[in-house]
Amino acid sequence: MAGLGCARQLHNLFKQHGDLLAKLGLEEPNVIVLEGRSRIGGRVYSRSLQVQPRHRHPEFHQSRCIAEMGGMVVTGFDRGNPMNVLIRGQLGLGYHALLSTATIYDIDGNPVDAKRDRMVEDLFNECLDRVSKYKFKVPLPKIIEGNRDYIDQRRDLPSEGHQTIASVEENAAAQKQHARRFDDVEAVERQISEQSQFAPATPNLVRERETTCEGREMPAIKRFSQAHQPPNKPATMTAALKLKTLGWKLKPGVGEEQDIDLDPAASVPGTTLGSVVEDAIRQFGDLVDLSAQDFRLLNWHIANLEYSNAVNHDRLSLFGWDIDAGNEWEGKHSMIIGGYQSVPRGLMLCPTPLHVRKQMVVKKVSYGGPDGASLPGICKAHKSPVVIEFEDGSTFDADYVVNTIPLGVLKHGDVEFDPPLPQWKLGPITRLGYGVLNKIILTYRQPFWDTNRDIFGVLREPDNRFSLDQEQYAKHRGRMFQWFNVTKTTGVPCLIALMAGDAALDAEKDSNDKLIAEATSVLQSVFGAQNVPEPIEAVVTRWASDRFSRGSYSSAGPAMQLDDYDAMARPVGRHLHFAGEHTIGTHPATVHGAYLSGLRAASEIFEELVGPIKVPVPLFTPKRSVMRTTKRKLTLDEERATASNGSSGSNNANSGGNTPNDARASVRRRPEVPELRVEEHTLKQPAGRRQQPPRLDDSPYELFSEANYQRASKICEQSRRPGKGPPTPEEVRAVTSKMWRKASIEERLPYAEEASERSDKYEALVQKLLREA
């Protein structure tokens, strides 16, 4: 995705700005993609199934049934995800919105009690909240919550005086200056920090089980954690009191004032997220009684976390494990019907095919070094700044190279760089983590599971099923702990089992027969041995053994430094650039992150060639200028219409259509005529014209704001000076935002449920419309 995204962007830039190249005396550069595999897509791979059934799922209209071997989930289309433009806009691909609710089954095949499940989940989130205070202190951007409806409609607010970032900074500076007189700067800074979060947080309030979907692409654990405690904010309750509020019964002799202390575990040299989380679980176990089932549930959540990072949590940085928090997209998570590989295939072919050379296995990259000096060794015979050598002995000269080789391959040292990469680049390569997630894909003739659910979970037990020793759960907790029903996107009845953490590494060594037999046994324990047949086809992934990837995606290694992802993104010299999911700290380990990194590298190369693209200022023509231009054009059209009428010899004042008003009306009707004809023609078609159903507000905050508008307005009126007039909508919105932040989870829940119902209803109407079409 990074390489194809970069190549497509460069190709488009060179076509669009050919005049700039011509002015500089440059020919349009050739953009060539060198692919080591015999296919495109890298770790986005939709493999064709060998058994292609005669009768496919009714919603599946693709030519082949596939199995998603790698990336498979789009993590929400809303609020900026570039996959929205690619998938729904440019490529027009079909997709299936996943239902995030899921059932978790215990080892006996029975669903876990919902109340107990929620209590254990809250306990695990409390562990993460306590651990989060040790994370890197990433500076938060200043955010002002605007009116999203006006933003979406590209309209200005109807009144002035609304809050701006500049006004926030001025107020903050004034408060600090005032505080210095009273030697209380720290207190005011804390107050400013609390007041500066104007954007209303919308935590996940769904009561049913919600699960992750693709690596770090659906971090439900993070969303629940953020719902409890903002990042880097210490807990305000003692551990015992917090557990009691979550429904736990304290052990005899344990008082509400008792707390846990994670500082000793966090201060040990080489400490990791896993070691501190395990210590938190141990200390919480001293406050409440944890059963074997509680340990199974806790370790299901740990496996979920390990799935998000493709590595055992004991190999994650305590300080940077959640470095991308706050950058998630919004909207329902979805899967592409017919396979996610359709996206890189579309990048390669649309609108015109890119120049892609496959099976070009790179052995060595010789470049000019960090200072762009002349090339040593073999490159003396070449005029180009970069020379690439391949395993078959051939070479390729290039002016610029974008290196999208996966981090696992860089760690493995499969590609030689001459001269060697500088230490500031080698350090992050060593420190960043890189793990593996594997899948077991099973297809059947008929589904035996609940086809209305997209995800279900299964608890795993240690060798001693009644063990209360946390260490004994690590080996098995990630083995087929989460299952995806992908029938609607694959085309045949199909389940995908995930292997996360240590289990993913074990899958590299276990035989296919052993893994398929174990997967069948797990399904039989849930759905009954008599209901689960042998699969008609099975596929097992082994990404760590793939020489072109050496794993699945990057993570925050124990020794990671805060700027390691940024260092990975920096070019070495002028001619060697880097892209890939391991080069973007805001969206690591994701498909969209890889694509965005490719766009960034394309921008770097284009600016290196022709300089920065000049953005028109202002970007949009001011409204007054538009009105003046429109009026001048209208006057000219009127004059032409009048002259035309005059030249026809029709000078009778009583004849129709000769007055200035008639001429003006005639001119204004002209643009409407083609539109009316098109609409009339469309309505006469057999299928008729189907209007997309109107979308209702599906934001919990917006529903809360609407319901409490009058209450917030009264609060504003009470706090205003006499004679100042009624409060503006922006002032009322600021009050409802504060009310939303102060509202408890129980108060927010009805609005979250109503928002979810509205979203589901809208999605159902859209799907119905698509089926009818």
pLDDT of 510 reads 94
CB contact at 8 A, 470 and 295: yes
Structure tokens at 175: 């408060």
CB contact at 8 A, 507 and 546: no
Instruction: Give 242-271 as a DSSP string.
Output: HHHHTTPPBPTT--TT-----HHHHTSTT-
CA gap 6, 580 in Å, rounded? 10
pLDDT digits (tens, 9 = 90+) for 93-104: 999 999 878 899
pLDDT of 171 reads 65
Amino acid at 59: E
pLDDT digits (tens, 9 = 90+) for 729-755: 878 888 888 888 888 888 888 888 888
CA gap 608, 30 in Å, rounded? 16
What confidence category does residue 650 fall into, taking pLDDT thresholds of 50, 70 and 90? very low
Residue 218 CB partners (closer than 8 Å, separation 6+): 73, 75, 100, 211, 212, 333
pLDDT digits (tens, 9 = 90+) for 140-185: 555 566 666 666 655 555 554 455 666 666 666 665 555 444 444 4
Range of 230-234, 298-302, 619-623, 655-659 with top mean pLDDT = 298-302
- Name the burial class of residue 380, with classes exposed (0-12), middle (13-18) and buried (19+) by CB atoms within 10 angstroms of its CB: exposed
- Report the pLDDT averaged over residues 414-427: 96
Amino acid at 553: Y
CA gap 221, 535 in Å, rounded? 32
Checking if the pLDDT of 504 tops 90, the result is: yes
pLDDT of 223 reads 31
pLDDT of 682 reads 58
CA gap 16, 18 in Å, rounded? 6
CA gap 424, 568 in Å, rounded? 9
Q: Residue ranges per domain, the chain?
A: 2-37+350-433+554-608, 148-186, 623-641+658-689, 700-772
- Name the burial class of residue 117, with classes exposed (0-12), middle (13-18) and buried (19+) by CB atoms within 10 angstroms of its CB: buried
Checking if the pLDDT of 212 tops 60, the result is: no
The DSSP bridge partners found for residue 322 are: none
Peptide bond into 622 cis (omega under 30): no
- Report the pLDDT averaged over residues 485-491: 92
Q: Which residue has the tokens 């909207």?
A: 331
Amino acid at 342: S
Checking if the pLDDT of 138 tops 60, the result is: yes
- Which stretch of DSSP H or E encloses residue 16? helix 2-16
Check residues 658 and 483 and name the one with the higher pLDDT. Answer: 483
Does 3.30.420.40 match the CATH number of domain 2-37+350-433+554-608?
no
Percent residues over pLDDT 70 in the chain: 73
Amino acid at 701: Y
CA gap 458, 720 in Å, rounded? 57
Q: How far is CA 509 from CA 315, 536, 727, in A?
A: 20, 23, 68
CA 153 to chain centre: 24
Mean pLDDT across the chain, nearest whole number?
A: 81
Checking if the pLDDT of 474 tops 50, the result is: yes
CB contact at 8 A, 127 and 280: yes
Q: Whole-structure pTM over 0.75, yes or no?
A: no
pLDDT digits (tens, 9 = 90+) for 513-561: 999 999 999 999 999 999 999 999 999 999 999 999 999 999 999 999 9
- Report the pLDDT averaged over residues 575-592: 96
Checking if the pLDDT of 766 tops 90, the result is: no
Amino acid at 347: L
β strands within 307-422, DSSP E: 334-336, 355-357, 362-366, 386-390, 395-398, 401-403, 416-418
Longest dimension (CA), the chain: 107
User: Which phi and psi angles does 485 have, rounded to 5°?
Assistant: -90, 105
Residue 739 CB partners (closer than 8 Å, separation 6+): 704, 708, 711, 712
pLDDT digits (tens, 9 = 90+) for 431-459: 999 999 999 999 999 999 999 999 999 99
- Report the pLDDT averaged over residues 406-423: 96
How many alpha carbons fall within 13 Å on the CB side of residue 266?
A: 14
pLDDT of 582 reads 97
